[in-house]
Amino acid sequence: MTAYAIANLHNPHFHPEVAEYIERIQTTLDPFGGRFLVHGTAHEVREGSWPGAVVVIGFPGIEAARDWYESPAYDDIRPLRSRHIDGDVILVDGVPAGYEPAATAAHLRAAATDAEASSRGTVPE
């Protein structure tokens, strides 16, 4: 299942170290099958606020994403970015092939029904 590293980089500003980080990052991704899907391109905020730039990197799976983020090679270059750009970074699994949102809704409804019945001391049908 595909996994993603997603970054929301707040108010990125150019610094020579940031350019070096960008020049070197792909070599840290290659051993883990990582590739850029979104890299600071313009985005449209439709709900809430999302200041800064968005970065999305795809990986073959969550273990590959985690191994990349924790790798000595990435650990070596991370400060080149983090010294100059504040941001949030998450690693997240994608959904499996054939994912059906309606099935998730059914599970949520069943769990809510069970929780409500439990709080009343009754058994759901």
Q: What is the pLDDT of residues 60-93, one digit of tens each?
A: 999 999 999 999 999 999 999 999 999 999 999 9
Q: Six-digit token pair at 83?
A: 């010294």
The strand pairing partners of 38, in sequence order, are 56
- Could you tell me what percent of the chain has a pLDDT over 90? 71
| Cβ atoms < 10 Å from Cβ of 28 | 20
In a shared domain, residues 49 and 101: no
Q: What is the pLDDT of residues 9-46, one digit of tens each?
A: 998 888 999 999 999 999 999 999 999 999 988 889 99
In a shared domain, residues 27 and 88: yes
Return the pLDDT at 118: 75
In a shared domain, residues 10 and 70: yes
Domains held by the chain: number: 2
CATH number at 77 reads 3.30.70.100
Return the pLDDT at 122: 65
What's the pTM? 0.84
In a shared domain, residues 109 and 61: no
In a shared domain, residues 90 and 101: no
* Region at 13 (left for phi over 0; alpha for psi -120 to 50; beta for the rest): beta
Return the pLDDT at 68: 99
Q: Domain containing 11: what range? A: 3-94
How far apart are the C-alpha atoms of 89 and 40, rounded to whole Å?
14
In a shared domain, residues 34 and 51: yes
* In contact, 11 and 52? CB cutoff 8 Å: yes
